[in-house]
Amino acid sequence: MQAVNTPIQKNEKLNANTNGTDQKKTSTDEMNNSAAKVGKTVGKPFATNPKMTMRNVDVFYGDKQAIHDVSLDIGKNEVVAMIGPSGCGKSTFLRCLNRMNDTIEICQVKGEIKLEEMDVYHPKQDVVPLRARVGIVFQKPNPFPKSIYDNVAYGPRIHGLVERKTDLDEIVEKSLRRASLWEEVKDRLHAPGTGLSGGQQQRLCIARTIAVSPEVILMDEPCSALDPIATAKIEELITELSEKFTIAIVTHSMQQAARVSHRTAYFHMGKLVEVNDTKRVFTNPEHELTEAYITGRFG
């Protein structure tokens, strides 16, 4: 049987994807090393109305460099999806945005990351106010082994956002409503959060995050442990939340990136290969590696 893609198509594709990048110089020999093909980021990495700006970010784990010179903007009320093969550094990069990498001693971040005027990695910048502004939702639903109410109320309590119990009740209700969980749990607010189903737990985690009223929400593969129905609910939620929050989401599901995000960033071996409007990325990506990844041609 003959392969679908004849050599002619290959050449065509190469030409098609070169637009102004150094790809034109790529010879057939060099193609054997895909890392060599990652040059400057192609597409539209910058936003007109940025909420977070990252410039020339390098991340090292000890001697190993995990992120190479990544520059990216996340626009206000924008949903940016980060995709790429396992180990490409997308999660590492996401965790830099609210310094969750601080817990790893050997992790070192260079370059500039800014949340509006705040320099995230400034030596004098405390992580507590940063994380109050940049919330994070993790891959595995991780509610505290406490009641649903206490889970949501934890953030406002530690940050001293409220003084009266009624205000706290209000925040809890509002957050749960926004996470589309209120109707399901309003009668058992004092039941343990760990007793909920996986999808509900993840929405509880989202409610817990938004209870602090952050400006940016980071999501690290929020649906990878959930079934399709729960995933659909979370995706719906992300779309609703984008009206109020700025969202950066790492996902392994390309369809999910295609469904929820405005712009999609493709990472490959620690480098940001391409950032483009999601529509563009999934119909006609600029970079050959992006194409190979989203069409399922990576072995």
Report the side by side order of strands in the sheet with 118-119.
Answer: 64-75, 50-61, 107-115, 118-119
Quick one: DSSP state of residue 139?
Answer: S
d(CA 183, CA 48): 38
Tell me if 291 contacts other proteins by CB under 8 A: yes
Considering the complex, state which of residue 228 and residue 299 has its C-beta at the smaller distance from other proteins: 299
* Contact region with other proteins (CB under 8 A), list: 7-15, 52-60, 65-73, 179-187: 7-15
Site for other proteins in 40-79 (CB under 8 A): none
What is the Rg, in whole angstroms, of the alpha carbon atoms belonging to the chain? 21
Smallest separation, CB 47 to other proteins (Å): 23
Residue type, 114: K
Residues 62, 167, 170, 284: which binds other proteins (CB under 8 A)? 284
| Interaction between residue 212 and other proteins (CB under 8 A) | yes
Nearer to other proteins, 11 or 56 (CB): 11
Window 139 to 168, contacts with other proteins (CB under 8 A): 140, 142-145, 154-155, 158-159
The residue from 56, 171, 205, 239 that contacts other proteins (CB under 8 A) is: 205
Question: How far is the C-alpha of 199 from the C-alpha of 184, rounded, in Å?
Answer: 12
3-state SS, 260-288, equals: HCCEEEEEECCEEEEEEEHHHHHHCCCCH
C-beta of 69 vs 225, nearer to other proteins = 225
How is residue 204 written in tokens?
A: 């509880």
Q: Is 197 in the site for other proteins (CB under 8 A)?
A: no
How far lies 39's CA from each of 109, 141, 209, 250, 276, in Å? Answer: 21, 36, 36, 22, 16
Q: Considering the complex, what minimum distance in angstroms separates the CB of residue 32 from other proteins?
A: 5
Among 57, 81, 100, 179, binds other proteins (CB under 8 A): 100
Contacts (CB under 8 A) with other proteins, residues 112-131: 127-131
Residue 8 as a binder of other proteins (CB under 8 A): the answer is: yes
Cβ proximity to other proteins: between 38 and 59 the closer is 38
Give the start-end residues of each E strand in the chain. Answer: 42-43, 50-61, 64-75, 79-83, 107-115, 118-119, 134-137, 216-220, 246-250, 263-268, 271-277
CB-based contacts of 259: which residues, under 8 Å, 6+ apart? 235
- We find the least distance from the C-beta atom of residue 9 to other proteins, in angstroms, to be 4
Q: Does 14 help bind other proteins (rule: CB under 8 A)? A: no
Task: Give the residue from 165, 169, 166 showing the smallest Cα distance to 211.
Answer: 169
Give me the residues that bind other proteins (CB under 8 A), please. 1-6, 8-10, 12-13, 16, 19, 28, 31-32, 34, 98, 100, 103, 105, 127-132, 135-136, 138, 140, 142-145, 154-155, 158-159, 192, 194, 205, 208-209, 212, 254-255, 258, 281-285, 288, 290-292, 294-299
